[in-house]
Amino acid sequence: MTPPTPRFSEFFAGAGMVRAALSDGWDLAFANDIDAGKCAAYAENWGADGLICGDIAALDPALLQQPIDLYWASSPCQDLSLAGHRSGLAGARSSTFFAWIEHVRAARAGGFAPGILAFENVTGLLSSHGGRDFQAVVDAFAACGYRCGAMEIDARHFLPQSRPRVFVIAVRDDLDLPAGLTQDAPSGTFHTDRIRAAHAALPRKLAQRWIWWTLPDPARPNAALADLIDTAAPDVMTPTSLDRLLSLMTAPHRARVQDAVDAGGLHVGTVYKRGRPDGLGQTVQRAEVRFDGIAGCLRTPGGGSSRQTVLIVRDGTVTARLLSTREAARLMGLPDSYRLPARFNDAYRLSGDGVAVPVVRHLDTHIFQPLIRHTRRIRSAA
């Protein structure tokens, strides 16, 4: 019997950002994550019912033997990230994708294959190992009986954060697709050059199963960075620390700060510390500032360089501090009512590892829900 409300499972659940996006129109079947701290935060906000903390490979197969409409997986990205060692899907962390696929196979074998699979990861997936890792993802879906298509969606279309990610949406072979949900050729913001190139590199047998999803741009304008930043927060850097930060900037970046000082008024920027070649064969640390109203991509707090600094220029005075954990959560689309861990690194990691809430909600509105409604209408008419 089909449950009245669609049901989803959230693998690699982290802070429950997918649940935050789907909570109004979906019921949770179960959620899973291996990290005890993330599980604690998930339970604090959503309750422990349906939450399974542990290795995805050790999940009880019986969990998959129930009606579930959507499996969502945001598997670890460290082995695919441009900032990592690029071990690819064979890496110890990113290989958990295949553990998830084994659960998809088990559900299919038991007659409970979900209608929709959603897989999110960094854009490095598209180029990792010359595109072979992306091909392996598409091939895994095909072997499980799914057609799929991918989109590159940058959170900056929804939030003031530059966060491009790849979203692979797969649908079971036996499900009919409603008119307007797909298109014959790539077009629109989210079928980027990288997506088109990844598709063009697929073997013919996989390219023939490809879906060009129709996904409109968001209707509402992007939120302003200044609206999410606590510009009156007192925890500023000392003058010595600020001078050190400014000294790490190259001339063009120092000029951006000076332009903000000269303009007067309030200007909010963000700063990342990065390793850059110095032209002499060495790598030096640089501080790079942007005042374009968009924060850099949030990362996990592996070190000071992974944490963004907020630079506030007010009437010619420059102050700086680390981006707060609450501000990081806002940049992921979480409301201020979301309860964050007390420790800075734990709370920052939740955001850095997460998926942007309004992006998931946009996919739900324009792909998941239309597909669910169409499928149920067909079943009810049969």
Give yes or no: 77 in active site. Answer: yes
Q: Please work out, in degrees rounded to the nearest 5, the angle formed at the alpha carbon of residue 158 by the alpha carbons of 152 and 163.
A: 50
DSSP string, 191-209: S-HHHHHHHHTS-HHHHTT
212, containing H or E segment? strand 212-213
Using CA atoms, how far apart are residues 87 and 329, in angstroms rounded to an integer?
29
Out of 39, 53, 77, 148, the active site residue is 77
226, containing H or E segment? helix 225-228
Q: Please work out, in degrees rounded to the nearest 5, the angle formed at the alpha carbon of residue 71 by the alpha carbons of 66 and 76.
A: 135
Using CA atoms, how far apart are residues 196 and 282, in angstroms rounded to an integer?
35
Q: How many angstroms separate the Cα of 278 from the Cα of each of 49, 153, 275, 283, 325?
A: 53, 33, 9, 6, 32
Q: How many angstroms separate the Cα of 237 from the Cα of each of 272, 318, 322?
A: 15, 10, 8
What are the two backbone dihedrals, phi and then psi, of residue 317, each rounded to the nearest 5 degrees? -100, 130
Taking the alpha carbons at both ends of the chain, their separation in whole angstroms is 14
Asked if residues 118 and 104 have their Cβ atoms less than 8 Å apart, the reply is: no
195 forms beta bridges with: none
Using CA atoms, how far apart are residues 380 and 382, in angstroms rounded to an integer?
6
Angle in degrees, 0-180, between the axes of helices 96-109 and 132-143, rounded to the nearest 10: 10
Nearest to 324 by CA among 207, 232, 202: 232
What are the two backbone dihedrals, phi and then psi, of residue 170, each rounded to the nearest 5 degrees? -120, 145
Using CA atoms, how far apart are residues 146 and 140, in angstroms rounded to an integer?
9
For residue 26, which amino acid is it? W
What positions carry a catalytic annotation?
77
